[in-house]
Structure 1
Amino acid sequence: MPSKKLTIVNGRRVLVDAKQRIRQDSDRQYNQHRQSTKSNYLSFYHSSQWQHIRRQALLRDNHICQRCGLEATLVDHIIPSEDAWDGRLDLDNLESLCKDCHYWKTKRETIKRKKGQHRYMQINIIAGYPGSGKSTYVRDHVGQHDLVYDYDALMAALTGLPLHVHNIDAHDYVSLIYELIMRKLKAEQTFDNVWIIMTYPDKRLDSLLVSRDLHHYMLSTSKDVCIQRLINDKRNIQQLTKVFNKIDELKSIGKFENFKII
């Protein structure tokens, strides 16, 4: 016998299939509240601009839900339009979803938004020469409710290759994850700390997250020590020479001037 659950339908308690979603009275109240307080926001979703970009997204995704692979009937903002109004017509910020996946995504966003109200998120940008110990420093300081972006670790996870071995074909995918994370961080305060490990300063990041609590750090490990570590790890020093020189050049023209040496 299929499992059942007790729920409220039109003010009465009834038993329904456990997997069935019922529109609650609270949902109606929520929508009525939005209608009265966010009429301009809601009117956008009836505009010809939205209908046009919505059709484009569905065609691009072949009417397939980008979460589960079933038929998509909705188009959703990856970064909620309420949080990033300027990106409401950005096709890259849209994904086609089925009703169930849209429901659970919205529910997760609501929970995260409520959590974020009680968190003061600090974003830490960690730079340094190759071999300076950036990943080790972050591992020693990361907390339970933190997020870490590490290009090398993501590359290894996506390709199955050893750490520090790069696949040029996978670069765009790793970069896409980076861009999405940055846009999500602009809209949410889900974490206590965010750790971004990078080689060169990224002015786009500073501009995008200007409203966040940004801290820039550069490890003080000397170039000679880094090179010796890389030799011990059997890394290709010749390939990394360009990276060392580029960092030295950026330091000489003040591109790291807002980084605190640690």
Structure 2
Amino acid sequence: MGNKKLAIINGRRVLVDATTRIRQDSDREYNQARNQKQSDYIKFYHSTEWSHTREQVLTRDNGMCQRCGLAATLVDHIIPSEDDWDNRLDQDNLQSLCRDCHYWKTRRETIKRKKGLTRAMTITVLAGYPGSGKSTYVTDHAGPHDLIYDYDRLMAALTGQPMHQGNIDVNDYIQLIYEMLLRKLKAEQTFANVWIVLTYPDDKLDSLLASQDVRHIMLDTSRDECIQRLNHDKRDVVQLLKVLDKIDKLKSESKFDKFKIVSNEKRKNNSNFSFK
């Protein structure tokens, strides 16, 4: 009988061949490498401040894994701390996970890092009037390796409702997706282009992504033309006039000064198209 070793597989202690590679072996090698090369990293995870933060996050998440819903055993940095060391205690970047979910998340991050999946990523923010054609502009210009954040399209996808029919309860989830997206974009350059469709300028976005190549675009569609399009699409123009007025106010306060005015001529004469 060959040499055996004790292993934990699917939550049970079993004997396996000594040559069998198990998760504990990978964990041990990972921790040994970290101990040798990243002493500050290890000291942090043994610090009192991390211990207190960890307990606060576990309490906030009700002790549940935020991916599978089972009991959480650890607290994970959504954006790895080695990629965003300055925010290592930011609870918005922390989540409770079970050991299995953490293992697979870390494995994906390691594979991505080894492959060197980074691109010369450009982030384009489009803001301005409803009905100006922001969504269609992105559709016309986006490529196969791009990421698109569009509130209205995301709302429709999550609710199964037609475009522009909002749901206040779903709104909170979309805001969480948006905030998580910004944090990931700060640390990674996975995509060729990222398109973010907004209504108003977002100072938080500009601050968080200050180190990235962020460009700002506002389409040259006039207010009157936007109103015509909104009427054509049978949108709630009375409510949307308040949005247009707020945008005009922000423009008068120079909040749109960083936005480059670009033409959306391709869609201007298409009366059969629904504009955003």
TM-score (norm 2): 0.82
Q: Residue type matched to 2:23 in 1?
A: I
SS at match of 2:58: helix
SS at match of 2:195: strand
Residue of structure 2 in register with 1:239 after alignment: 239
Q: CA separation in 2, counterparts of 1:205 and 1:192? A: 19
Q: CA separation in 2, counterparts of 1:153 and 1:53? A: 36
Residue of structure 1 in register with 2:212 after alignment: 212
Name the stretch that deviates more: 79-88 or 206-215. 79-88
Distance 1:115 1:178, change over 3 A: farther
Say if 1:112 and 1:190, in contact at 8 Å, map to a contact too.
no
Q: CA separation in 2, counterparts of 1:136 and 1:107? A: 37
Residue of structure 2 in register with 1:162 after alignment: 162
Residue of structure 2 in register with 1:58 after alignment: 58
Quick one: percent identity of the two aligned structures? 65
Name the stretch that deviates more: 233-242 or 57-66. 57-66
Residue of structure 2 in register with 1:252 after alignment: 252
After TM superposition, give the deviation of residue 112 of structure 1 in Å: 3.2
After TM superposition, give the deviation of residue 104 of structure 1 in Å: 0.7
After TM superposition, give the deviation of residue 62 of structure 1 in Å: 3.0
CA RMSD of aligned residues (A): 2.2
Residue of structure 2 in register with 1:48 after alignment: 48
Residue of structure 1 in register with 2:10 after alignment: none
SS at match of 1:64: coil
Say if 1:57 and 1:95, in contact at 8 Å, map to a contact too.
yes
Q: CA separation in 1, counterparts of 2:140 and 2:24? A: 46
Q: Residue type matched to 1:66 in 2?
A: Q
Segments of structure 2 that go 5 or more residues without pairing to the other structure are 1-16, 263-276
SS at match of 1:136: helix
Q: Residue type matched to 2:146 in 1?
A: D
1:3-18 equivalences under 5 Å are 12=19, 14=20
Q: CA separation in 2, counterparts of 1:113 and 1:127? A: 33
Residue of structure 1 in register with 2:202 after alignment: 202
Q: Residue type matched to 1:55 in 2?
A: E
After TM superposition, give the deviation of residue 28 of structure 1 in Å: 4.7
After TM superposition, give the deviation of residue 116 of structure 1 in Å: 5.4
SS at match of 1:42: helix
SS at match of 1:261: strand
User: Deviations along 1:185-233, whole A, 9 cap, x unmatched?
Assistant: 1111111111000111111111110000011111111222211111111
Q: CA separation in 2, counterparts of 1:241 and 1:43? A: 55
Say if 1:138 and 1:195, in contact at 8 Å, map to a contact too.
yes
Residue of structure 1 in register with 2:174 after alignment: 174
After TM superposition, give the deviation of residue 56 of structure 1 in Å: 2.2
Name the stretch that deviates more: 123-132 or 111-120. 111-120
Count of matched residue pairs: 247
After TM superposition, give the deviation of residue 89 of structure 1 in Å: 1.9
Say if 1:113 and 1:188, in contact at 8 Å, map to a contact too.
no
Residue of structure 1 in register with 2:69 after alignment: 69
Q: Residue type matched to 2:65 in 1?
A: C
Segments of structure 1 that go 5 or more residues without pairing to the other structure are 1-8
Q: Residue type matched to 1:135 in 2?
A: S
After TM superposition, give the deviation of residue 241 of structure 1 in Å: 0.6
Q: CA separation in 2, counterparts of 1:243 and 1:183? A: 27
After TM superposition, give the deviation of residue 58 of structure 1 in Å: 2.2
Q: CA separation in 2, counterparts of 1:96 and 1:196? A: 28
Say if 1:113 and 1:190, in contact at 8 Å, map to a contact too.
no
TM-score (norm 1): 0.86
Q: Residue type matched to 2:237 in 1?
A: I
